[in-house]
Copies of this chain bind each other. A is one copy, B any other.
Amino acid sequence: MPFQYLTNFPLDDAVQTYLDALNTHGLSYKTEEIPIGLALGRITSRAVYARICAPHYNACAMDGIALSARITFGATETTPVRLQESDFVRVDTGDPLPAGCDAVVMIEDVIEEDGQVSLYAAAAPWQHVRQIGEDISAGDMILPSFTEVTPAGMGAMLAAGVMKLETVKQPVVGIIPTGDEIVPPTEHPGEGDIIEFNSTIFSSMLTQWGCLPRVYPIVKDRLSEIEALLRKAVDECDAVILNAGSSAGSEDYSAQAIRSIGEVVLHGIAIKPGKPAVLGLAQNSSQAGLVPVLGVPGYPVSGILVLEHVFKPVLQQLTCRQPEKIEHVQAVVSRRLNSSLKYREFIRARLGLVNGKTVAVPLNRGAGVVSSFVKADGIIDIPQDMEGYEAGQSVDVRLLHSLDEIARMLVITGSHDPLLDEVADIMRRTWRDSLVASSHVGSMGGIMAVKRGEAHLGGIHLLDEASGTYNIPYLKKYFPEGGVVLVECVERIQGLMVAPGNPKGIQGFADLPRLSYVNRQKGSGTRILCDYLAKENHLDTAQINGYEREEFTHTAVAAAVASGTADAGMGILSAARIYGLEFIPICPEQYDLLIAEDALQLEAVQRLLEVLKGPEFAERLKKLGGYTLNKPGEVRPWN
């Protein structure tokens, strides 16, 4: 049982234990002197003092004449003081104040009459003079220690004769990708090749945290090779990340490699995803410094979470940056979330403000689903001692986007169609502050989300078996009191997607019993259509191979067919086209938008309706194929 060697430390304890171990071994930041021009955003490692005054001489602050103020005393509008050329010096702004002068009279107030100069007002001593040190005096502290350098701070240092400053050195963080199947990013990976994109994600996170990432070449799953490269990285870097092989399987060498050149402080944290992290350390033999070494799980979501929660506090000790304030929000969770009592769980979620209520829609929880981090607006943090949340319960969410952005988010929850992404993109091209969060939960999910006030709108295409009509019968059933508007979107063609050339000679739904099938999830409009067609064709769905295999989007079904693991699946023409599949049309259907009445006046909804009616939408749908546009964007009376 290989997993028995992993501990299950609570996260906060694990981080504290790790920091304590590192500090006991003398973890410390390094410093370097850099020119001011390179200092933007860097952290001072000691206070910076002015070397010279700014301005460094008494400077005239106006174009005009410099003089001793005393000789102007008594000048008024009726009794001007008249001056000889020898009484003053003509000066421009920035000129040094001439010796013997203590004031400047601006040129507008210098009246030249009869070859003489007249002043109709007395000058005050030191008027229009930028006195030496007015801005900064030599010796003044310009910036204290551990302060981030700003543009104005750079200007102030240069003004005060400071050409270089001592800063905290940006830690170099090595990233070692390991694994036999790992290949560099490519458009054409072979089957079984795993594209190594983690180091790109990690590098970017490190850059954002003020570190300098250094990515090493991919190393194979051989202990000796991993050890050798780790030794080299520890000697070249201030911290090292060993990616993948952090668990306790037969080819998981991270813990062993770290132990062989240093020390494993702990192995295994009670978080999900991210459990099999290895928290280690080693000594840099060339610079006699301590190097934190982190073994990170291979799945990208695990890796991101372990870096964020475990390594960031360590790196902040090396960068001397203050942790930013983490913003949280209480949100209503849109569906039941189970969680194990063994782990503290982090679940990515989309957020939106619907009808005054912040709603969290959990995303795919898979540790390998990096796209969930792209779509996420926040992270639901389920404590270790919680078994999860019921739909409608309030949960704590760590924000990834600002509340301001979340308030602007148009929340679309319902049936999947690629046209929704196109609409979102057109909105963004027209109004750059548009934000759309769309979740694919099927048509019935959309109806329920709008009904519960958790979405502004949803796409639906629901066939009513009794009447053979779309959508309206469902609205009558689920919204007997009204409160929602049905907006026409498109007519689209559903059909069977099959391999190119249709090698199995599939003609229709009646062929299903002899095929392997891939289906859509229960509650989706397409599933309801399949169930209807099965009944119409007198098929026993329990006998259809793969009828219970569920995918959540048209493209995911097409991908399954294209990969050869299913002979057919139901979907729309545009999905079949993307995958070069043959398409056997079954029936047209009406895909509409269900919009909460309260949401109708929102600017984002108005923008969306405008897009539906516009030429760009029609053009893009023509390219996708399989759509008929009648009156998109028009309200369809239904009750």
* B135 contacts A371, C-beta separation under 8 Å: yes
**For A251, what are the chain B residues with a Cβ–Cβ distance below 8 Å?**
92
User: How many of chain A's residues touch chain B, expressed as a range?
Assistant: 35 or more
Chain B residue with minimal CB distance to A303? B155
Asked if A1 CB lies within 8 Å of chain B CBs, one says yes
Chain B residue with minimal CB distance to A577? B139
* A135 contacts B565, C-beta separation under 8 Å: no
Return the contact of A374 from the options B96, B152, B575 (Cβ within 8 A).
B152
* B139 contacts A366, C-beta separation under 8 Å: no
Asked if A368 CB lies within 8 Å of chain B CBs, one says yes
Within 8 A of B (CB), among A105-148: 108, 125-126, 130-147
**For A138, what are the chain B residues with a Cβ–Cβ distance below 8 Å?**
555, 559, 578-579
* A371 contacts B432, C-beta separation under 8 Å: no
* B1 contacts A147, C-beta separation under 8 Å: no
- A interface residues (Cβ-Cβ under 8 A, vs B): 1, 3, 36-37, 40, 47, 51-59, 61, 63, 92-97, 102, 108, 125-126, 130-147, 150-156, 158-159, 161-163, 179, 181, 185-189, 191-192, 194-195, 197-198, 200-205, 207-208, 249-251, 300, 304, 320, 322, 325, 364, 366, 368-371, 373-374, 402, 404, 418, 421-422, 424-425, 428-429, 432-433, 436, 546, 548-549, 551, 553, 555-556, 558-560, 562-563, 565, 575, 578-579
How far apart sit A421 and B46, CA to CA, in the bound complex (Å)? 12
Q: List 28 A-B contacts (CB under 8 A).
A: A3-B108, A47-B421, A52-B187, A53-B563, A58-B563, A92-B251, A93-B249, A102-B565, A126-B549, A130-B366, A133-B551, A133-B560, A134-B366, A134-B368, A136-B371, A139-B558, A140-B371, A141-B418, A146-B429, A147-B428, A151-B200, A151-B208, A152-B201, A155-B197, A155-B370, A159-B195, A159-B197, A162-B187
Copies in the complex: 2
Chain B residue with minimal CB distance to A554? B137
**For A563, what are the chain B residues with a Cβ–Cβ distance below 8 Å?**
53, 57-58, 132
* B200 contacts A555, C-beta separation under 8 Å: no
**For A553, what are the chain B residues with a Cβ–Cβ distance below 8 Å?**
137, 140
* A139 contacts B575, C-beta separation under 8 Å: yes
